[in-house]
């Protein structure tokens, strides 16, 4: 009986620490394979969390850009190549929610997970039409900043996965 309880607890712990694959919604007939340039617009913080000691929007935007480039995608700034918007997908990132957890090394049983939900709205630059959205969420006992960066990384990785199809 004790072994079974331990196995169930271990499975629950592993499930809680496994990042969920982002949710992807694309308009009918849309494929990210059709885009060859990705633009990351300034990120919006709609979380209502007031205790960030720095402009978190900039950090999230930079993480998106870095991860897209890491995945070998071409990234332009919003004003670059504005004369030819064909084949450009704009990511409008929004931090929808955030909760800062605590990480106490002395009392591991008191750890509270940090949580975030991050959404990227995908807009075709040529038409201005929203063609999809990708939402990631994290609920981890990491340092709060790591959780935020993980949310942005998961979105960028999913963009790359959808692009490579």
Q: Provide the residue ranges of all domains of the chain, joining segments of one domain with +.
A: 20-164
Structure confidence at residue 123 (pLDDT): 97
Q: Is the Cα torsion angle 47, 50, 51, 53 positive or negative in sign?
A: positive
Is the predicted pLDDT of residue 8 greater than 60, yes or no? no
Is the predicted pLDDT of residue 12 greater than 60, yes or no? no
* Strand 88-99 versus strand 37-40 pairing type: parallel
Q: What is the mean pLDDT of residues 23-37?
A: 96
Answer whether CATH 3.30.160.150 is correct for domain 20-164. Answer: yes
| Distance in Å from the first CA to the final CA of the chain | 45
Q: What is the mean pLDDT of residues 149-163?
A: 95
Is the predicted pLDDT of residue 29 greater than 90, yes or no? yes
The tokens 């090394």 sit on which residue? 105
The Cα angle at residue 145 between residues 141 and 149, in degrees rounded to 5: 100
110: confidence class by pLDDT, cuts 50, 70, 90: low
Q: CB–CB of 95/50 below 8 Å?
A: no
Total length of the chain: 165
The Cα angle at residue 92 between residues 89 and 94, in degrees rounded to 5: 155
């Amino acid at each position: 009986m004790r072994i079974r309880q331990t196995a169930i607890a271990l499975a629950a712990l592993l499930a809680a620490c496994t990042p969920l694959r982002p949710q992807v919604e694309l308009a009918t007939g849309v494929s990210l394979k059709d885009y060859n340039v990705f633009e990351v617009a300034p990120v919006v913080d709609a979380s209502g969390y007031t205790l960030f000691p720095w402009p978190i929007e900039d950090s999230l935007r930079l993480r998106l850009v870095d991860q897209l480039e890491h995945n070998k995608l071409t990234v332009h700034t919003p004003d670059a190549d504005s004369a030819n918007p064909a084949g450009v997908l704009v990511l409008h990132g929004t931090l929808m929610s955030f909760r800062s957890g605590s990480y106490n090394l002395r009392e591991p049983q008191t750890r509270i997970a940090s949580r975030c939900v991050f959404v990227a709205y995908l807009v075709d630059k040529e038409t201005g039409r929203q063609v999809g959205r990708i939402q990631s969420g994290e609920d981890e006992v990491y340092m709060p900043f790591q959780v935020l960066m993980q949310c942005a990384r998961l979105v960028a990785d999913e963009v790359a996965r959808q692009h490579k199809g």
